[in-house]
Each structure stands twice: as structure tokens, then as C-alpha cells.
Amino acid sequence: MTLPSSLFPGWLRPAGLAAVSLLSACSVGWSEAHDWVSPAPARTEAVRPLPRPTGPGWDATLWAGPQSGPPASPDARDCDRAPQAFELDGPGDAQALQRERRERRERDDGDRRADRHGAAKAAAESAVAGAAPSGRTDALRHSAPAAAPALQPDERAAGPAPRRPRDEPVSAGVVDDNADFGAYLAYRARNEHLPVRPRDVQERYRLTVHDAAGRPVADAQVSLHADGRALPLWARTDAGGQVWLHPGVMPGGAPALMEVQVRKGGTVGRALLQRGQRDALQVRLDRDLPLQRARLDLVFLVDATGSMADEIDKLKRSMRSMADQIARLPSRPDTCFALVAYRDRGDAFFVRAHDFGKDLDAFQRSLGALQAGGGGDYPEALNEALHTAVHRLSWRGDGATRLVVLVADAPPHLDYGAPYYDDDMQGALARGIKLFAVGASGLDPTGEYVFRQAAQYTGGRFVFLTYAKADDPSSGPGRETAHDVGNYSVESLDRLVVRLVREELARRPAG
């Protein structure tokens, strides 16, 4: 229901709906076509087609974060075309980076050889000491076999991980940190020491938008305002007409009283948000909106470094089955697929993307050509890959459901500079993109924190592989995990992905 103007303070009180629409278009930066105006980026980067680009590497972002204004709205009309492929170089000189990585690997190999030699020598000494008279306690004390050095995270690429049988299922669990928000805040408090980019999400408000007929309004544009200015927080409602708003993420803090503006189909609705109030807000638009066929834009964002061979092979084997199951969902979605793969600086590629297309065979060929390789240190180029997925792909507008499935086993590099994942999780919310982050074997506590942070903020879920023994990925599928989670369900990973898509699309109004 639209709030009467008498409830608004003077600086928010509209003279009428048309006046408010015009005022809002000026103050928020909406275009006359009731959409966000794409801010001109300070720098732009040419997206180059395959084969490998030879020009400058990664040196710019398409969106500089909330302080630069709202990101461009998704506006592609369709994806009924051959998927366009492009590739992005990493920051810095590629040859120098490859030389640096080669030298680092040679040093690591030398260290490992020295460690193995030392362990063998200690074992031999131990055997000799074992035959010494019992009085030779000094020999016994110094002859204990040296423990084999623990494999450090940055040595993942030194040798292949144990491969699971080809047809063995991959089991996975899932948690919804928005559904059990208290447990999520407790988890964050336990891990506040981790080297991440924290954002304050303790204060949150759930906004629900309906049309005049009471149906949920998907993909409605949401902005916050105070003192006649737009605040650096933007969002779009999901398939069920809902979105979580977190004022605490705004730099410098949020004012005590804000106006929430909602726009869809040329109609504007408003509500007041008083900080500290109950956490539910409702806005009803004053017109019926037409029902549309479900449209799904689905991106697989994949870490393609050497430790991800099993997960990539599983995705290749199960992709067609997942696509067929999604096509048979009750909503019969019109689905477009895209792929973004990434490695790290100095590898064969930095970020490689295949833009949206409906041709599943073409998508399968792109996925089939992807091989695991490279890596070396533990963090990878997740920041830049997420930025590519959110801002460089041709997301469809006009009510599409937009999902990203991230499959990775390492956190992002935070020492490369912008873009940063926390800015792009805010950009994802502004563009109506939910992130479902899948933690593969080997994901450390920092990676778990980052994955859960992005999934919770965008309204997605944190998914994690499970095993018969929590700390042994070679033990086969099971219900155990080393992650800091509780109250989770387990099923095969491909079925879980399909279920998450089904649940998201099921929130759309029937018709």
C-alpha cells in the first residue's frame, strides 16, 4: 500500500506520484525509461576475443564500487546467439609474471627435494640408532625420523590430488545464512581475525514488493535516499519480490531515517525506513504488472587451477543432465548459460569467459575445452573473475532471474588492488544477481568466510563438498565436512544445484 504523503517529513513529502517520479529520476539517476543510468566508468578495458590478447593486461574496472554510483542495469534483450568468447590478461607484464612463477616453483621443488632427502637420512639414522646399546640415549634422542613436511596451501599445484573414480558421485551440503542469521553472526564473530574485507551486515531489513493484485514483483529496482540525495546502496528484488537491505555496508554509516524507493514498469512505490525498527518492510505498487514466462540467466564461475581437476570433470559430466532437469522444471524457464573460468597471474590465462547463449551444445564445447592447470600460490584471481561475471556478461533485463554458481577451492588475491569481491557482491545485489558459492575440497577458513559473505549478502547459499571423512577428500562421498557449519542437508552436487534453481524459480507468481 502506498503511504500517505502526510507520513513523510517535509524533505520527503511528494506533491503527487508524477512529481515524485520526476524528482526521483533526477535525484537517483534513473533514466526517462525508468531504469538506472549507467555511470561512465573512470577507465574502460577493451574486451578482446580469443585467441590470447596481445595488448595491455588487466588495468581497469567497469564499476568502481558503490561510491561511484549505481552500476549499469542488465539490459540484454536475448541470448539467442552463438556465445561470444573473450579473455583478459592479468595485471603486470605476463612474461615477467611467468618467469616469477617458474622461479618460485623451482625453489619449491628444491625445498621439497631437500625435505625428502632429510627425511630419508633421518630414517636411516633412526635404523642405526635402533641397534645401539640402551645406554646411548643421545643417539636415540637425535635419531627420531623427521616428520614429513605438511603440504601447505600454496603447494597445491606441486602434484595432482588423489583422483576420485570417474563415476563416483560428489556429495555436498548447503546452508542458508539468511535463514539462520543468528548462527551466521556468531560464525563471523568467531572468525573476525581472518584477513578478509569485512562489511557490517548485522543490521538488515527484508523488503517485500507486491503489485496492486498482491503478486510479488521480481526485478524491481530499489534505492535508498536521505536529505535529498541518493545513498550508496542499490538492489533488485529476487524472483519472490524480496531483497535484504544492509545499511551498515555504506561507508560512513547510514542516517537514522531513510526513504526506500522502488521502481518497476514506470511505477514508483515508497516506504520509510527507521533504523532499529522491525526488520520487515513492504511496498505495494499501484498497478498490476503482467506475468511473464520465467527467464533464467545461469553462470558457472569456475576456478580452473590445477587442484580443481576433479570438480571440473564432474561439472563436464553432469552439465547436460542438470540443463535437462532445469528445462523440465514446472516453470519451463527460458534459460541462457555462461561460463567464466579463471586462474592467476602468469598462468596460461587469467580470466576466460563465454558470454550467454542458449545453445547448450556450444556451451558444452566451451566447458569441455576447459582444463585444470596452473595455480601455484594459494589465492587465485577470484576478484577479477567475479567482476567479469557481474559486469562484463550480457545479463538480460526485464525480470530475468540471474544466478551465479561459483565452484572454487581458494580465496581471492587481496594484494592485486581493485576490483575487490566485496564491492562486486554489492554490485551483484544492485544488478539482481544471486551468488551460490560452492566450496571445493581444500577451501580454507578465509575462503569459506569470503564465500559465505558474498552468498549471504546477495541472498544466495553457501554450498560445500562433503566426504565420508571430513578431513580426507579421498575418502569418498559422505556427510562430513571440515567447514564451520551446522544443520545442513546433503545430496549429490548436481541435484543440489538443480534444487536451488528450482526453489528460486518457484518463488515467482504462478501464471
Reported as a single tens digit per residue, the pLDDT across 225-259 is 999 899 999 999 999 999 999 999 998 889 999 99
Single out the residue of 263, 173, 121, 195 nearest to residue 422, CA to CA. Answer: 195
pLDDT for 163 equals 57
Q: Residue 60 above 70 pLDDT?
A: no
pLDDT for 97 equals 63
Span 445-470, mean pLDDT?
A: 97
pLDDT for 252 equals 85
Q: Tell me if 444 sits within 8 A of 406, measured CB to CB.
A: no
Check residues 20 and 485 and name the one with the higher pLDDT.
485
Q: Residue 113 above 50 pLDDT?
A: yes
Single out the residue of 242, 245, 220 nearest to residue 232, CA to CA. Answer: 245
Q: First-to-last CA distance in the chain? A: 23
Give the single-character DSSP code of 306: G
Single out the residue of 80, 152, 81 nearest to residue 115, CA to CA. Answer: 152
In this prediction, residue 94 has a pLDDT band, given cuts at 50, 70 and 90, of low
- Gap between the Cα atoms of 391 and 88, Å rounded: 14
User: What single-letter amino acid sits at 327?
Assistant: A
Q: Tell me if 250 sits within 8 A of 231, measured CB to CB.
A: yes
- CA dist list (Å): 230 to 54, 192, 432: 41, 31, 19
pLDDT for 6 equals 37
pLDDT in tens, 299-358: 999 999 999 999 999 999 999 999 999 999 999 999 999 999 999 998 999 999 999 999
- Average predicted confidence (pLDDT) for the chain: 80
pLDDT for 44 equals 35
pLDDT for 509 equals 84
- Gap between the Cα atoms of 253 and 243, Å rounded: 20
Cell, residue 8: 513523510
In this prediction, residue 494 has a pLDDT band, given cuts at 50, 70 and 90, of very high
**In terms of DSSP bridges, do strands 280-284 and 171-175 run parallel, antiparallel, or are they unpaired?**
unpaired
pLDDT for 357 equals 95
Q: What dihedral angle (degrees, nearest 10) is formed by the CA atoms of 113, 114, 119, 124?
A: 100
Q: Residue 160 above 70 pLDDT?
A: no
Q: Residue 53 above 50 pLDDT?
A: no
Q: Enumerate domains of the chain plus CATH numbers.
A: 60-94+162-199+292-505 (3.40.50.410)
In this prediction, residue 139 has a pLDDT band, given cuts at 50, 70 and 90, of very low
> 125 by DSSP, 3-state: which?
helix
Comparing 7-16, 92-101, 344-353, 419-428, the range with the smallest average pLDDT is 7-16
Q: Tell me if 286 sits within 8 A of 266, measured CB to CB.
A: no
Q: Tell me if 484 sits within 8 A of 196, measured CB to CB.
A: no
pLDDT for 278 equals 86
In this prediction, residue 81 has a pLDDT band, given cuts at 50, 70 and 90, of confident
- Give me the count of residues in the chain: 511
